[in-house]
Amino acid sequence: MRKITRRRFLFYLIGVAASLSWVKYFIENIRGGSSVSEFNDTRTGATPPARVEPEKEAMFYEKAGGGKVRCRLCFRECLVPEGERGFCRNRQNTGGRLYTLVYSRPSAVNIDPVEKEPQHHFLPGTEMLCFGTAGCNFRCRHCHNWHLSQRSIEEVGSYMKITPQAAVNLAVEKNIPTVSFTYNDPISFYEYVYDTARIARRKGVRVLFHSNGSFRPDPLRELLKYTDAVTIDIKGFSEKAYDNSEARLDPVLESLKIIGLSGVWLELVNLIIPGLNDSADEIRRMCRWIKDNLGPEIPLHFSRFSPAYRLTHLPRTPVSTLEEAFRIASEEGLEYVSIGNLPGHRRNSTFCPACGNKLIERVHFEVRSNRIRNGKCPGCGHKIPGVWE
Ligand code: SF4
C-alpha cells in the first residue's frame, strides 16, 4: 500500500474540499431542476450562481469596435461583446477590456507522477505539482474531466487563491521538480500558466503543460520560452474526430510544427475511441504526418478509451485495436510508441529502438526500473532523446 506522507495528506484534504464544493453545487443547482446538458450547452458561459469579479487583464486580445474585443489566444478568435464571455467561459469583456476569470483560482491541485501526463522521456519516476481550473476551449464529448472543463468558475468553485508565486513556492517547499498545467486545457488559463512558468524558470522548477494544442502561434511561442516539456493530444487525424470536440485539426498541426522547431521536449497522446478515430487508415496517416513533420523520435502514446461524459454508450477500446495501432506506428517508423490506460501491458514500457532492450519498465504510471544511463541505452549505447536529469 502507498505510504501516506504529510504532503499527500495535505493534498487529499484539498481534494476532499473540492469534491464537497462540487457536491454542494450539484445539490443546489443541478438536482434543483436544470439538466446537465443545459449547463454544458453554452458558448458564453452558463448562468452562474454568482459572478466572479475579473481582476487580471488578459493577454493577446484587441479592441474590435462597439465595445467588443477580439481574443487572439486560440484558434477560435472569439469576438466578445461587452459583459459576455468567450467560448472557453474564462475570458470576459468588462468595459471593453478582456479579463481572465481564473487567474490564481485553480479548481484542481494535485501531486501526480509525471508518467500520468503522459511523459515517458521527461524525468521518469518523478512527481509534478499539477494545476487545473474551470473552463476549456474544446467540448470533447469523451472528456474525463468534464466536471471541470465544461463548467464555469462559478459552477466549479476554486480553492483559496494560489498566486503564481505561491504555486512555485509550494513546489520548491515540497521538493517537487516540476509544475504542470493539466486537467483542463492550459489555453483557457493562459495568464496563470505564463506567469507561473516565468517564476518557475527563475527558481529552477521545470514547467510542463498538457494541451489540445489549439493555440494561435504568438501566444504559443511566448509560452514555450518558459516551458520544458509539452504533451499534446491528437484527437484523431480527421475532421470527424475533431467534430467530437467542436474543434479543428489544422491549428493543432500548426502548433505541433512550432513546438517541434522550438526544442522544447514534446510527447503526443492519441486516445483511440471506437468508431470515431480508430480506422487503420486514419492512424497510419497520423503516424506518417508525425514522422515527416516532427521526426521518428517523438514518443506517441496510444491511450485506451473508457466510457465517460457524453460517450458512455461506447465500449472500451479493444486491446487488439491498440496493438494494431502500435504495429502501424512501428511500421511507419516511429521509434517510441507505447500503449496507455491498460495497466500491465508490455507496451507500458520503453524499449531501445536499436537493440530492443527494455529501458524503462513501467506498470501503468509506476516506474519499476530505469536502465537509461547518461541518456543512452546501456546495451548498445544508442542515444535516447529526452530530459533525463
Ligand atoms: S481563449 Fe477563450 S475567449 Fe479566447 S479565442 Fe479561445 S475560446 Fe475564445
Phi, psi angle pair for 100, to nearest 5°: -90, 140
What is the number of other CB atoms lying within 10 angstroms of the CB of residue 268?
23
pLDDT at 158: 81
Q: Is 187 a pocket residue for ligand 1 (Cβ < 6 Å)?
A: yes
Q: Is 73 a pocket residue for ligand 1 (Cβ < 6 Å)?
A: yes
What is the position in ligand 1's atom list of the atom closest to the CA of 87? Answer: 7
What is the number of other CB atoms lying within 10 angstroms of the CB of residue 343?
12
Q: How far is the centre of ligand 1, averaged over its atoms, from the C-alpha of 291 (Å)?
A: 30
Note the pLDDT tens digit of each residue in 40-49.
Answer: 222 333 344 4
Residues of the chain with CATH 3.20.20.70: 108-370
Cβ-proximal residues to 234 (8 Å cutoff; 6+ apart), any chain: 213, 252, 256, 268, 269, 270, 286
Q: Is 85 a pocket residue for ligand 1 (Cβ < 6 Å)?
A: no
The CA–CA distances, whole Å, from 27 to 5, 30, 225 equal: 33, 6, 43
In angstroms, the CA 354 to CA 335 distance is 9
**129 closest CA partner among 82, 90, 180:** 180
Whether the bond into 118 is cis, omega within 30 of 0:
yes
Note the pLDDT tens digit of each residue in 131-158.
Answer: 999 999 999 999 999 999 999 999 998 8
**318 closest CA partner among 290, 339, 337:** 339
CATH architecture for segment(s) 108-370:
Alpha-Beta Barrel (3.20)
Pocket test for ligand 1, best of 56, 88, 136 (most atoms within 8 A of CB): 88
Q: Residue 154 carries which side chain, given as an amino acid letter? A: E
Question: Residue 205, SS3?
Answer: coil
Q: Range with the lowest mean pLDDT among 36-50, 74-88, 210-224, 249-263?
A: 36-50
What is the number of other CB atoms lying within 10 angstroms of the CB of residue 277?
22
Q: Is 212 a pocket residue for ligand 1 (Cβ < 6 Å)?
A: no
Which residue's CA lies nearest to atom 4 of ligand 1?
71
In angstroms, the CA 129 to CA 134 distance is 17
**129 closest CA partner among 143, 147, 108:** 108
DSSP state letters, 85-138: B-TTS-EEEETTEEEES-TT--SEEEEEEGGGTT-SSBSTT-EEEEEE-S--S-
Q: Is 247 a pocket residue for ligand 1 (Cβ < 6 Å)?
A: no
What is the position in ligand 1's atom list of the atom closest to the CA of 80? Answer: 3
In angstroms, the CA 300 to CA 358 distance is 17
What is the position in ligand 1's atom list of the atom closest to the CA of 77? Answer: 5
Query: Helices then strands (H, E): number in the chain?
Result: 11, 17
Query: Alpha carbon 335 to chain centroid distance?
Result: 23
In the predicted structure, residue 247 carries a pLDDT above the cut 50: yes
Q: Residue 211 carries which side chain, given as an amino acid letter? A: S
In the predicted structure, residue 271 carries a pLDDT above the cut 90: yes
Q: How far is the centre of ligand 1, averaged over its atoms, from the C-alpha of 262 (Å)?
A: 24
Q: Is 72 a pocket residue for ligand 1 (Cβ < 6 Å)?
A: no
What is the position in ligand 1's atom list of the atom closest to the CA of 188? Answer: 1
In angstroms, the CA 358 to CA 6 distance is 35
CB 332 within 8 Å of CB 283: no
Q: How far is the centre of ligand 1, averaged over its atoms, from the C-alpha of 376 (Å)?
A: 42
Q: Quick one: what percent of the chain has pLDDT higher than 90?
A: 84
pLDDT at 40: 29
